[in-house]
Structure formats: structure tokens, C-alpha cells
Structure 1
Amino acid sequence: MSVKSDEATDDEIKAYEKGIKADEMTRCYILASMANVLQHQHQSMTTAYDMFKSLKEILGEQNRPVKHTVMKARLTIKMVKETLVREHVFKMMSLLNELKILNAVIDMESKVEMVLQTLPDSFQQFCLNNNMNNMDLSLAKLLNEEQTAKSIIKQQDPPAALMVEKPSASTFKLKGEKKKKAS
């Protein structure tokens, strides 16, 4: 299928024919990668763009349940105490990338906040410092900062904020027991 016109130059005609050939190749690749049912439905379409629009209509709505599942996983995840910070942040980055692929728009500040919310209580000071200092972190910088914080947290054995003296049994009076007078 070529278009020749008195107004078109030889270069324009060649570019047009090259575009037609590229579109035909693209249609072949699309058809070859489809299931038989979809092939039959799309083989009469004249352009790859028409195929793409049709596939988007057919498959486009499948993003919604997938996006919901990924978002639910993101909202319910919490870093387990024994997990390495690096593994946890990579897992969070993976979930956030899946959401991006599904066309969810999340700015960097919100992504960092989402990761901070999944950290255990031992990172409370780290999160507070991040919020108080309005640190402008990317996920990669956050990963490095969290690993540094984790090594500091590990060095505190046990953390000072968590040290509580265990009361002795004689400090408490059992119900129904009378106070004994010292003789």
C-alpha cells in the first residue's frame, strides 16, 4: 500500500512506505504473541495502533484489582525484627515500583514516608529525626541512612530507652495479704 502524490517528495514517499512496513511488522509481532482467541479477534485490524487500543480496552480494567492487591500488601507490611534493613527496603521499593507500573502516582516524599511507616519501633528516633529535619531523601539514600541507624541500634545492648528495672516480688502486695509489721 503506497501513496504517491504530485505534492510528495521521494523522501516523504519512502518514509511513508517505511512506516507502513514497520506497522505491518508490529502487527505481526502483536498477533504472534497473543492467545488464539485474541488473534482471531484482532487479525482484521489494519494498524498496530488499532490493536493496541482494542487490547487496552479489553485488558485495561485488570489493573484495578492488581493495584488494589499491591496497595493492600504495601499497607499491611511491617518490618520484622530479624529482617535485614536492606531486604525490607528492597521489598518496599519493589511494591512501590509495581504500583508505578500500574499507573499509581506517588511522589517521592510519600514513598519515603510509606517506607518509614513500616519500620519497627526501634527506628522511632530515626523516623522522628527524618521528620523533624525535613530530610529530602530518595529511597536509595533512605536505605543507606536506615542501615546506618540499624547498626547504631544494634550497638545499644539493650537500648537505653528500653531498660526497665524488674521489680522484686516483695515490692508488690498480693490481694488479700496484709502488710507485715517489722519487729
Structure 2
Amino acid sequence: MSGGGFFSPLTMILKDSKLDGGNYVDWKRKLNIVLAAEGYKYVLTDPCPVIGRNSTDEERQAEAEWKNVDEMARCYMLASMSDVLQSKHEHTPTAYDIDVSLRTMFADKSRPARQEAFKAIMTTRMAEGASVLEHMLKMIAYFEEAKVLGATIDAESQVDMVLETLPDSYSQFKLNYNMNKLEMNLVELMKELQAT
């Protein structure tokens, strides 16, 4: 955990884009960046450790730490919302619960936006001679947008989709990738493509 405190430079990212509903995708992407940088993002996916009478000191410490981190994540989320959304969620018990509520309000109802994100992924093609770095960053942004809107595309499928967007000059790379049954994530693929 960075322990940078609530007024760290990272909070400026959220301050400049308060969630008002129409900007959910951008807000969520920026929130994920801030929570990951601060070491708080895990409370959106990992449940609070359950302790009982026979729990060890380490288990009790893990629960206390999770609750502290969750409270910080809640504060980041609430502070970066419009007043109306803030008042709706101020008594929501965990950051995870706030996340689910917002997803239900905005992401789950943005089927057209999700379809647009998929359309961008499926129709984008890298022009011959264009920067592979710029192309990869654009594709990664499309995948992230689709994810924020509730889509699930596994890492292997993302790589397969990117390979299909490359121009003919990368046909040897694609052939080697498939014949050698290579496995990469998007960042590794980006490095390999830049080296090609």
C-alpha cells in the first residue's frame, strides 16, 4: 500500500472527473488506476476475511487491514461522485457494494455502449506502416472500455483479436505465433510486435 493519503496526487485524477452518470466508463477507468496505485483495488474483488472465535492473530489482522483498505476505497469512490450519487451511496457498507450498485445503474444498462466497444475492437485495423505501439494502446483501451461496461474477454481471446487487426506485413509473426503455440498477454504481445 502506498499510504499516500487521501490528498495524494492520484486523487487529482478523480477530482477532475466526478461521476455524474454520463461519464461512468471514464470515471471507472480512472478509479481503477487510483485504487490499483494505492493498493486498494483488491477490495472490489476479494471478500472480507471471515474470522471466528478460533481465528489466528494473522487472520484477525487480515480482516482489520481489509476493513481499513475498504474504508479508504469507499472514501475515494464517494469523494469522486456527484452530490446526488454521493448521498445515495454514503451508507452503502463496502466499496464492492458501491461498485455493484454503480455498475447496475450505469454499466449494465449501457448495452449500446458495450456494443460500440465491441464494434471498435472488431473493426479496427492497423494500417500498413503505422505505429504498432499506438495501435496496441488503442486496442488495450478498447478492451478496458468493454471490461468496464461489463464484458468479459479472456486474455487469450484478446491476443487473438489483436492479431487479426494486424496488416499483412505481420503474417510471418502470426504464423510463428500459431505454429509455436505461443502464449502472451497484451503487454508481452506489444513488446514482441515492437521488436518485429
- TM-score for the superposition, normalised by structure 1: 0.54
Identity of aligned residues (%): 39
Where does structure 2 lack aligned partners over 5 or more consecutive residues?
Answer: 1-66
Q: Which amino acid aligns with 1:144?
A: K
Describe the superposition over 1:40-97 as per-residue Cα deviations: whole angstroms up to 9, x where unpaired: 8x49x96456x94665543343332221111101110000123111111111111112
Q: Does 1:103 align with 2:150?
A: yes
Deviation for aligned residue 1:131: 0.6
Give the one of 38, 43, 61 matched to 2:108.
61
Where does structure 1 lack aligned partners over 5 or more consecutive residues?
Answer: 1-18, 150-183
Map 1:60-99; keep pairs closer than 5 Å: 60-99=107-146
Q: Distance in 1 between matches of 2:173 and 2:110?
A: 35
Q: Distance in 2 between matches of 1:61 and 1:122?
A: 39
Deviation for aligned residue 1:130: 0.5
Q: Distance in 2 between matches of 1:97 and 1:147?
A: 21
Q: Does 1:119 align with 2:188?
A: no
- TM-score for the superposition, normalised by structure 2: 0.51
Cα RMSD (Å): 3.6
Q: Distance in 2 between matches of 1:148 and 1:85?
A: 10
Structure showing greater Rg? 1
Matched length: 127
Q: Which residue of 2 aligns with 1:154?
A: none
Q: Which residue of 1 aligns with 2:175?
A: 128
Q: Which residue of 2 aligns with 1:145?
A: 192
Q: Distance in 2 between matches of 1:79 and 1:57?
A: 34
Describe the superposition over 1:8-53 as per-residue Cα deviations: whole angstroms up to 9, x where unpaired: xxxxxxxxxxx9xx98xx69x84x765576678x49x96456x946
- Ranked by relative contact order (alpha carbons within 8 Å, sequence separation 6 or more), the top structure is 2
